[in-house]
Amino acid sequence: MKQLYLDGVWTDGAAGRTWTVTNPATGEHLDEVAVAESADVDRAVRAARRAFDEGPWPRLDPLVRGRMLHQLAERIRGRLEELAMTDTLNIGKPIRDTRGFDVPCAADLFESYAGLADKIAGKCYGTLPDNVTLQFREPLGAVAAIVPWNFPLTNAAIKLAPILACGNTVVLKPSEVSPLSALMLAELAHEVGFPPGVLNVIHGTGAETGAALVRHPGIDKITFTGRHQTGVQMLEAAKIGMKSVMLELGGKTPSVVFPDAPLEHVVNGVITGIFFNLGQVCVAGSRLLVHESQHDELLERILAKVKALRQGDPTDPNNHLGCLATPLHCANVRRYVEQAHQEGALPVLTGPLPADPQDCFFPPTIFDRVTASMTIAREEVFGPVLSVLTFRDEDDAVRLANDCEFGLMANLWTSDGGRALRVARRLRAGRIAVNGGGALRPNVPVFGYKLSGIGAELGFDETVHEYTNSKSVLYSLATEKTPWPE
C-alpha cells in the first residue's frame, strides 16, 4: 500500500481508509493508496507552514535550492522507464508517449526552474535625493497544488518546479485516479534531501480531501489545473483567508487552416492535436476550422492517416493510441458522441463503441458538418473526438474561432506571415501556435482567456509574479526631519 508523504515521512491516513488504483486498459488492480482525512490535510498544511515559517528552505542560498532541483531532475531521468510505465499503467497512455514526452518534460521543467532560483530580483527606486525605495521579491508561503490525471507526472512538475524554485513550500494533491507517479516524485525528493515539510503529498477525492486543503487557513495560495466548474469552487474557497489563486482550466482549441497552408504538415498537426493521449489534453485541437475550398481534400487526407493509427495495449510501443483514463470518463465521452448524432453532425469516422461499461478503449471519432451552436463544438469533450467546421474568409474564421467560452489555445496554419500575426492578434486565446509551433516549453507562459483560467502557468517573469510576494522598503536619507504638523 502507498502511504501519504507528510513532513518528510511516510504515514498512513488517520482513519486507515484506502483508495484502489486500477489499470484502465485491463481493469487490473495496481495498488492501494492511503486516503487523507481532514486531520491528515491539517497535518500536511501545518508541516508546510512550519517548513516555511521556521525551516531552512525559504532562507537557503538560492543556488542551493536550484542545485537540489537540478538533482531532482537527474533522478527523474535516472528512473525514466519506471516512471513512464507507472503512468502508462495508471491512465492507459501509450508507453511511447510517457517515455518520449511525459517523463523527459518533467525532468526538463525541474532543470529549467533550477536556473531561476538565484535570478529572482527586485528593484531600486532612487530618484528622490533624500529617499531610496527598495522592492524585494520574497517567497509567498505555503501553496496548495492540485493537478489532474491526464499527465500525472508532468502536471506535478509544472506546479512544483516554479513553486519550489521561488522558495515556497507545497502540499500536492494528485488526482485520485492517478496518484502513483506523484508518490515516486516524493520518494526522489526525499532521496535528494529536501527538508521535511517542503513537499507534502496527500491523496483523496477533490470533494473531500481537495476541499479541505484549499479551505485551510494555513494555505497562502491555490494553484489548480482541471475543469472550469471546479475552478469556480476554488474561487469560493479562496475567500477564506483571501488566498491568491492561479487557475488553468479547460479549452476548446480551434485549428484554423487557411487556403495557403501546407496540407501535409496540417494533417500531422491536426491528428496529433486531437488524438495524442486520446484528446485528454486541455489544449486538444478539438475544432478543425477549414476553408470551404480545402475541406474535401484535407478531410480525405486526415481520414486516411487516422485509419492507419494503431490502438491497443498501452504498454506496446508500436501502438499510437491507448485507452481513456476511467470507465466513468469513457461514458461521458460517449454521451457527447451520442448527442452529436442527435444534433445532426455527420459522423465520417467512427468505430465500435465499447460494449462493456468497463472497457475504456474509445475509437478515434470525427464529425463533419458541425455548426458552432452544436454542443460538440462548444463544450470540452476531453476525448478523441474532432469537430469539422468550414469558413468563407478570414473574418468568418476569426468569428468561428472566438465563438466559444474558452480561450486557452488556438492553432493557425498559413504560409502568409502577415495573416498569421494579424489573426493571432484577433483571437481571444492565451496561446497561439502558428504552423505547428505549440510545443510546451518551460520558459513560455500559459495564459487563459475567458473560462480557461486566471493567472499564468510557467514563464519565468510570470512565475516570479505568481509565487513571490513584493515588499517595498522606503529608506529615508534625510538628516533633518520635519515633524507633523509643522
Does residue 363 sit in the same domain as residue 458? no
Catalytic residue, from 105, 166, 282, 323: name it: 282
Mark whether 37 is an active-site residue. Answer: no
Does residue 276 sit in the same domain as residue 231? no
418 CB-near residues (< 8 Å, 6+ apart): none
Mark whether 282 is an active-site residue. Answer: yes
Does residue 208 sit in the same domain as residue 307? no
CA 81 remoteness from chain centre: 22
Task: Write the DSSP symbol of residue 127.
Answer: -
* Domain end call among 408, 434, 460: 434
Q: Is residue 443 part of a domain?
A: no
Q: Is residue 209 part of a domain?
A: yes
Does residue 205 sit in the same domain as residue 298? no
Count of structural domains within the chain: 2
pLDDT of residue 439: 82
Q: Is residue 320 part of a domain?
A: yes
Contact 459/430 with Cβ under 8 angstroms?
no
- The CATH number that applies at residue 290 is 3.40.309.10
Does residue 242 sit in the same domain as residue 343? no
Catalytic residue, from 111, 248, 457, 462: name it: 248
pLDDT of residue 418: 97
**Dist. CA 91–CA 105, nearest whole Å:** 18
Query: Considering the entire predicted model, what is its pTM?
Result: 0.95
Q: Is residue 445 part of a domain?
A: no
Q: Is residue 442 part of a domain?
A: no
**Dist. CA 410–CA 424, nearest whole Å:** 8
71 CB-near residues (< 8 Å, 6+ apart): 192
Ordered alpha helix ranges (H), 54-179? 62-78, 80-91, 95-97, 103-114, 152-165
**378: exposed, middle or buried (C-beta count within 10 Å: 0-12, 13-18, 19+)?**
middle
Does residue 396 sit in the same domain as residue 414? yes
pLDDT of residue 390: 98
Cell of 273: 492535436
Does residue 180 sit in the same domain as residue 302? no
Contact 205/230 with Cβ under 8 angstroms?
no
Does residue 225 sit in the same domain as residue 101? yes
Does residue 233 sit in the same domain as residue 365? no
User: What are the pLDDT tens digits along the chain (486 aa)?
Assistant: 799 999 999 999 999 999 999 999 999 999 999 999 999 999 999 999 999 999 999 999 999 999 999 999 999 999 999 999 999 999 999 999 999 999 999 999 999 999 999 999 999 987 778 888 999 999 999 999 999 999 999 999 999 999 999 999 999 999 999 999 999 999 999 999 999 999 999 999 999 999 999 999 999 999 999 998 999 999 999 998 899 999 999 999 999 999 999 998 999 999 999 999 999 999 999 999 999 999 999 999 999 999 999 999 999 999 999 999 999 999 999 999 999 999 999 999 998 888 888 999 999 999 999 999 999 999 999 999 999 999 999 999 999 999 999 999 999 999 999 999 999 999 999 999 999 987 888 899 999 999 999 999 999 999 999 999 999 999 888 877 777 776
pLDDT of residue 131: 86
CA 405 remoteness from chain centre: 19
Q: Is residue 285 part of a domain?
A: yes
**Residue (of 136, 135, 79) closest to 104 by Cα position:** 79
Contact 221/243 with Cβ under 8 angstroms?
yes
Does residue 232 sit in the same domain as residue 258? no
- The CATH number that applies at residue 229 is 3.40.605.10
Coil, strand or helix at 181? helix
What's the angle, vertex CA 49, arms to CA 461 and CA 169, rounded to 5?
A: 35
Q: Is residue 485 part of a domain?
A: no
**Dist. CA 479–CA 425, nearest whole Å:** 53
Does residue 458 sit in the same domain as residue 312? no
Contact 255/411 with Cβ under 8 angstroms?
yes
Does residue 465 sit in the same domain as residue 379? no
Q: Is residue 191 part of a domain?
A: yes
**Dist. CA 282–CA 426, nearest whole Å:** 21
Range of the domain at 125: 4-249+452-472
